[in-house]
Each structure stands twice: as structure tokens, then as C-alpha cells.
A = this chain, B = another copy of it.
Amino acid sequence: MPDDAWSPPSVLLTVDLVILTLRDGRLHILLVERGEAPFQGMSALPGGFLNHGGEEILDAAHRELSEETALASSWVHLEELGVYGESGRDPRGRVVSVAHLAIAPGLPDPVAGTDAFDAAWIPANAVLSGEVELAFDHRRIARDGIEHARTKLEFSSLATAFCGTEFTIAELQHVYEAVWGTSLDTRNFYRKVQAAKGFIIPAGTDRRRTGGRPARLYRAGPKTILFPPLIRPTMSATEENTRGEEE
């Protein structure tokens, strides 16, 4: 299709990161304050341009992740979320962003990235509700990322990525409740996580706290796909999912 002396338009590529974690039982997302125009002073997702020298997109995401969270990359689940490339989304020109989703276990209070940015964990709800405004189309990216995480929790063992190496079933339940924003029946939850063979495996040891029966500890099992899946209670049947208009 290219003609003789025709050259295709080029675009700038960024990666943006939806980094989720649990803090005091609630789902939080990592936001940075933009230090420069455009949207200077506004909250935004961590991210940035690809490096020169043919950096891979996924490598760039890992680089941004460790720059923002100072977190050992191997600890963190990272996956592609989608492309955001509408022509009006960045006032600097045609900037196409590849969004990624990262799931981290709870981190120490100060985020303390190696970058100078002011970074903070913000409750996911504050972003979803629009209470916190984000630069660019980052609110939509954040929404998509959170929705993606919710769905992945149903069919994959992703939930364990929110926990440390060892965790109790109650902790795992709190992960599901926090991410889904629902509350679950303890008995059914125990039944289901244990029915999904390969999801969690007993660590042998117990964890004792002040008062109360000690909890058995588990580790993530070898399976990444849950069967049977843990379907979230909402939206199962009654919800709306009607097509727009017929032709």
C-alpha cells in the first residue's frame, strides 16, 4: 500500500501502569503527581516513554515499575492491559500508551521510589468515583485495569499475588472482598478455594496472633487457572448487558 515516496506517520510510545495493592484491607492504586506540563501538579498513573535503543515494551513497564515502587520485579505480577491511542489524549501530539496491570503484595508505608516524584497509594474507590481526578485518559485506564483484575481473580490464581509467600485463607478471602468490593460467605469461600485443586497448598505451619485460634498457613499452588473458578456474586445473571441499537 505504501506508494513510492511515501513514509508512514510515527507516534510516541509510552507505558502506563495500573499498580494495585491492598492496604489496610482496601484496594489501593499507585498514583504520582506530575512534575511538569502537561497536567502539571495533577495525579496520574506511573509511566513514561520507552527508552532509546529499542527497549521492549514489557521491559519498559518493568523499569517504570521498579522506578516507582522499588520493588523486586520478580515479586510482581505484570501483564498487558491494552492500548490507548486516541489522537486527542495527549496535548503533546500523537502519544500511544500501552497500559499494564501490576499486582503487588502490601508494601511498606513510604512508597519511596527512586524517582523524585511524589507517589502515593490512593484508595481505588476514590479513582473510580471520580473523587480524585487523573491526567490524560488515566481514569479510564485505571477503571479498565481494576475491572481486569476483578475478572482475573475469578479465573486465575492472581489473588495470591496480593499476599506474601505465606498467607491464611482468611487473608485470601479479604483479597477477594477488597478487590471485588463485596463480602463473601466464609464457609462457601473455604469450600471453593479448597475445591480448586492446585490453587493453594498447606505450608504446614500455623500463624499465631494475640488471642484466637491459630490459622493454618498456605502458599500459592502450581495452578494458574482456577477450576472450578470463583465467580463473583454480583453480575452473575440479573445485570444489564444489552446491545446498543439493532443495526
A213 contacts chain B at the CB level, 8 A cutoff: no
Bitwise interface map of A from 84 to 116 toward B, beta carbon under 8 Å scored 1, else 0: 011100000010101000000000000000010
Q: Is the CB of B243 within 8 A of A54?
A: no
Q: Is the CB of A83 within 8 A of B86?
A: no
Q: Using Cβ atoms and an 8 Å threshold, which residues of chain B touch A242?
A: 198, 222-224
Q: Is the CB of A50 within 8 A of B9?
A: yes
Q: Is the CB of A224 within 8 A of B241?
A: yes
Of B49, B87, B223, the residue contacting A1 (CB under 8 A) is B49
Copies per assembly = 2
A204 contacts chain B at the CB level, 8 A cutoff: no
A188 contacts chain B at the CB level, 8 A cutoff: no
Q: State whether A237 and B227 are in contact (beta carbons under 8 Å apart), knowing that A1-B48, A9-B50, A80-B83 are contacts in the complex.
A: yes
Q: State whether A11 and B13 are in contact (beta carbons under 8 Å apart), knowing that A87-B54, A94-B54, A222-B243 are contacts in the complex.
A: yes
A212 contacts chain B at the CB level, 8 A cutoff: no
User: What separation, in Å, do the CA atoms of A239 and B36 have in the docked complex?
Assistant: 50
User: What separation, in Å, do the CA atoms of A57 and B96 have in the docked complex?
Assistant: 10
User: What separation, in Å, do the CA atoms of A115 and B247 have in the docked complex?
Assistant: 26
Q: Is the CB of A9 within 8 A of B225?
A: no
A130 contacts chain B at the CB level, 8 A cutoff: no
A interface, how many residues as a size bin?
A: 35 or more
A56 contacts chain B at the CB level, 8 A cutoff: yes
A14 → chain B, closest Cβ, in Å?
A: 8
Q: Is the CB of B12 within 8 A of A12?
A: no
Of B2, B9, B83, the residue contacting A98 (CB under 8 A) is B83
A8 contacts chain B at the CB level, 8 A cutoff: yes
Q: Which residue of B lies closest to A242 (CB)?
A: B222
Bitwise interface map of A from 57 to 72 toward B, beta carbon under 8 Å scored 1, else 0: 1000000000000000
A82 contacts chain B at the CB level, 8 A cutoff: yes
18 further contact pairs, Cβ within 8 A, besides A10-B10, A225-B239: A1-B48, A1-B115, A2-B49, A8-B12, A10-B12, A11-B11, A13-B85, A56-B85, A56-B86, A57-B83, A57-B96, A85-B98, A220-B243, A223-B241, A223-B243, A224-B241, A227-B236, A227-B237
